[in-house]
Structure 1
C-alpha cells in the first residue's frame, strides 16, 4: 500500500499477515502530500493529534513519545509517508509503528498487515 488508508480509525483491530490479532490502532497520521499533487498538504490526522504546530520540532514532539527512542530519520519518514502507532496486545508486548509498506488492506473493521508483528519497528 502506498499510503495510510483513509478509512482507518483509532481502536481499529490490527492483524498480522497470518491474520492473528496483534493489537489496535492507538493513533495515526496520513501522508503530508496528496499523491497526485505533491504541492498540496493532505495530512489526515488522528483526533488525538489535532493540535497544530507550525515547527518540525513541535510537530515531532506532539506525534512521538519522548521515550520511544525512534530515530529522527524515522520520525521524519513517518511525517512524510504517514504511520500508525500500534497499541500491541499482551502484557509485555511493545507498541510498534506501522508504515504504509507494512499494510495490505482494510478488511471490514480490521487493518490487515503484510508482515508479522516482529517485523514492525518497536515504539
Structure 2
C-alpha cells in the first residue's frame, strides 16, 4: 500500500511526471490505514479543526466541501486511502485530487507525481 510522504504540507508546489508545475497543495489527508497516523484525529484534513467531532460525515464535509463531482464511493475511497487536493493552475482549472500511488517523491517544497496532470481526478 502506498502512503503520502510524511513531509507533505499545504503550499507545496506540485509537478506532474513531465515536470510541469500544475498547482499547489491545498489540503491533504493521510490514510486511515497508515500505522504512523493512528486515529481519525491525526488524519484530519484541517489540523486546526482537530477539536471538532471527527466522525466520517464531518470529515467528508470538510474534505470535499462543494465537490459535487465526486461520488460518495469515491469520496470514501479517498478518505480511506488518503489523498492530496491541489489548487490547479490555469483558467477553469478546478480542484484535482492525487492518490498516494500517483506520487513519485516529495523534495522540500516540491511534490513530484509519477503521472501526467491528465491522469488526476478533476472536479470543476
TM-score norm. by structure 1 comes to 0.85
Residues 31, 44 of structure 1: 8 Å contact kept: no
Cα gap change, 1:36/1:4 in structure 2, threshold over 3 Å: closer, same or farther? closer
Q: Following the alignment from structure 2 to structure 1, what is the Cα–Cα distance between the partners of residues 105 and 70?
A: 25
Q: Following the alignment from structure 1 to structure 2, what is the Cα–Cα distance between the partners of residues 51 and 14?
A: 29
Q: Following the alignment from structure 1 to structure 2, what is the Cα–Cα distance between the partners of residues 86 and 78?
A: 14
Cα gap change, 1:87/1:19 in structure 2, threshold over 3 Å: closer, same or farther? same
Q: Which residue is 1:57 aligned to?
A: 57
Paired positions, count: 121
Offset from partner CA, 1:76-115 (integer Å, 9 cap, x none): 1111111100100112212100010111110231000001
* Structure 2 residue matching 1:75: 3-state secondary structure: helix
Gaps of 5+ in 2: none
Residues 29, 43 of structure 2: 8 Å contact kept: yes
Q: Which residue is 2:5 aligned to?
A: 5
Q: Following the alignment from structure 2 to structure 1, what is the Cα–Cα distance between the partners of residues 51 and 66?
A: 17
Q: Following the alignment from structure 2 to structure 1, what is the Cα–Cα distance between the partners of residues 91 and 51?
A: 31
Gaps of 5+ in 1: none
Larger strand percent: 1
Q: Which residue is 1:74 aligned to?
A: 74
Cα gap change, 1:84/1:49 in structure 2, threshold over 3 Å: closer, same or farther? farther
Could you say what the CA RMSD is over the residues aligned between the two structures, in angstroms? 2.2
Q: Following the alignment from structure 1 to structure 2, what is the Cα–Cα distance between the partners of residues 107 and 55?
A: 33
Q: Following the alignment from structure 2 to structure 1, what is the Cα–Cα distance between the partners of residues 81 and 120?
A: 15
